Amino acid sequence: MATTNDLKNGMVLNLDNQLWSVVEFQHVKPGKGPAFVRTKLKSINTGKTIDKTFNAGTKVETANVDRRTMQYLYNDGTDYVFMEPDTYDQIMVTPEVLGDGSKYLLENQDAVVARHDGEVLFVELPPSVVLEITYTEPGLQGDRSTGGTKPATVETGAEISVPLFVEQGTKIKVDTRDGSYLGRVS
């Protein structure tokens, strides 16, 4: 148990036997009346986001979530296999749990795997990854001041938009949250 004063981003709460992750929170102390905490919660199971307001100091039940840095090994055709570096224990993560993160996952890459009662809740990738472009059309010569983009396929098979000057074989930094181009890596 914790109080609403202890809330932090990423904390997992157990409300009505459902697990909710705190996306953001704000303590509000109005001029009149008691203080309260405004939160945005994301369902771990469905991904649905809700806004919920608690009175300040209200007790909320926290879920015991085990977060460990694990190494991605390979995809066995259906599931993704992660290994704990210390014990060499392997766990399987379904594509539904991994979601869009699979587009930016390279073998031997580290990720944080969160589990509750042995069940994998979610996988947190690093904020950005370095990937090599395996295919893109050549950029057009001419007016580059418009900041145009073109599609490019990276080594994981994901397709992202890159500036016209980026060529095949270039290593780029990609944001794992939204798949956006962040820059070239030398």
The predicted-structure confidence for 64-77, as pLDDT tens digits, reads as follows 888 899 999 999 98
pLDDT at 140 exceeding the cut of 80? no
* CA pair distance 36, 13, nearest whole angstrom: 17
CATH architecture designation of domain 2-60: Roll (2.30)
Mean pLDDT of 76-87: 93
Q: How confident is the model at residue 82 (pLDDT cuts 50, 70, 90)?
A: very high
Mean pLDDT computed over 151-159: 92
Please give the class, per CATH, of domain 128-185: mainly beta
Instruction: Give the whole-number percent of the chain exceeding pLDDT 70.
Output: 95
Cα(29)–Cα(36) distance, integer angstroms: 7
CATH topology of domain 66-124: OB fold (Dihydrolipoamide Acetyltransferase, E2P) (2.40.50)
Instruction: Give the dihedral sign, CA 143/146/150/152.
Output: positive
Residues 8-62 have pLDDT tens digits of 888 899 998 899 989 999 999 998 899 999 999 998 888 789 999 999 989 999 9
User: Is residue 144 predicted with pLDDT exceeding 60?
Assistant: no
**Residue 105 to residues 37, 48, 74, 97, Cα–Cα distance (Å):** 36, 24, 10, 14
pTM summary value: 0.74
